[in-house]
Structure 1
């Protein structure tokens, strides 16, 4: 009986050894690099052409202020203004009603910092505010003293100051949705629409 029992134990040990050897050999034989790739599947349908992210955005280059363009001092609802009218045919009624217009200025005589309108700083002495308004085919840059009274003066000429506008329609690329451009730097807006600095 002992011999028979010992034979069974020896056979079971050998069987375990053989099974373990097969398992090890099998695990090494299954490698992700083995085998050939299958044939490529059929080509899917062509997608529709996408729209350029800035296809509908209109941007001027930098334009020098001209002192001759500033209007005489005008009183608008009790505030003294000098206005700088600019004809911009791309400002349609749809832009006025639904689009976004951004206006920037920089004083190249002193530095290259770029400011989004409206903003206030010492421009002609004291402290002035530059803002703007739009109407159909028209952009007007407006300057007043921060106090609202008195002549803010004018500025312009070669190498003094420049302005630039960017017109963003509400329709088209959809890039205007949920964006607050007033919280974006000039560089961020330029990069967002892939425009030239």
Structure 2
């Protein structure tokens, strides 16, 4: 009898398994969709960034007054000055000051060395608050070469920003860039 009970149980399980299929019952109802969660709150504004190119100051092309003979640091030459009202002590201490001379078919970064007048000479800029002195001297210390009033001058003042934290963010050397490259970088009309 025990064996008959076991056979009967096995047969009952087999019949139930065979008679059940997925096609026999009604499909259940789909569940309802859940609600969307609420949006998160906006984060706080970040801190202001370092001084950018929007703060760059540049002059129009200007002419300088007639040059006069002067000796600077034991070197004789010719000098004149242009006004730079935006040139502050802060820019002198932390910024970059670029001065250009334009004549003939070119624009040149100061200091500019040439053989004008038949002698090797250099035009350089000496910056002080609100003024830029233009000084031309001969390399052989034998007299002077004039600074004609027909020359045109332009300055570009780049205020200093936050000091670089690492050497990866080293300051660019604008004095090694051409006038055109500097104008393109700061969106200045040449």
Band the TM-score falls in, shorter-chain normalisation: 0.5 to 0.7
Structure index of larger Rg: 2
Unpaired segments ≥5 residues, structure 2: 1-38
SS in 2 for 1:64: coil
Distance 1:42 1:195, change over 3 A: farther
Unpaired segments ≥5 residues, structure 1: 1-40
Quick one: distance in 1 between partners of 2:51 and 2:126?
Answer: 28
| Residue from 100, 108, 118 that aligns with 2:111 | 118
SS in 2 for 1:55: helix
| Residue from 98, 102, 116 that aligns with 2:98 | 102
Paired residues in the alignment total: 149
Instruction: Quote how far apart the aligned CAs of 1:169 are.
Output: 0.5
SS in 2 for 1:140: strand
TM-score, length-scaled by structure 2: 0.66
Q: Report the counterpart of residue 186 of structure 1 in structure 2.
A: 179
TM-score, length-scaled by structure 1: 0.64
**Correspondences of 1:149-188 after superposition (within 5 Å):** 149-157=142-150, 161-171=151-161, 178-188=171-181
| Cα RMSD after superposing both structures | 2.9
Q: Report the counterpart of residue 85 of structure 1 in structure 2.
A: 81
Q: Report the counterpart of residue 144 of structure 1 in structure 2.
A: 137
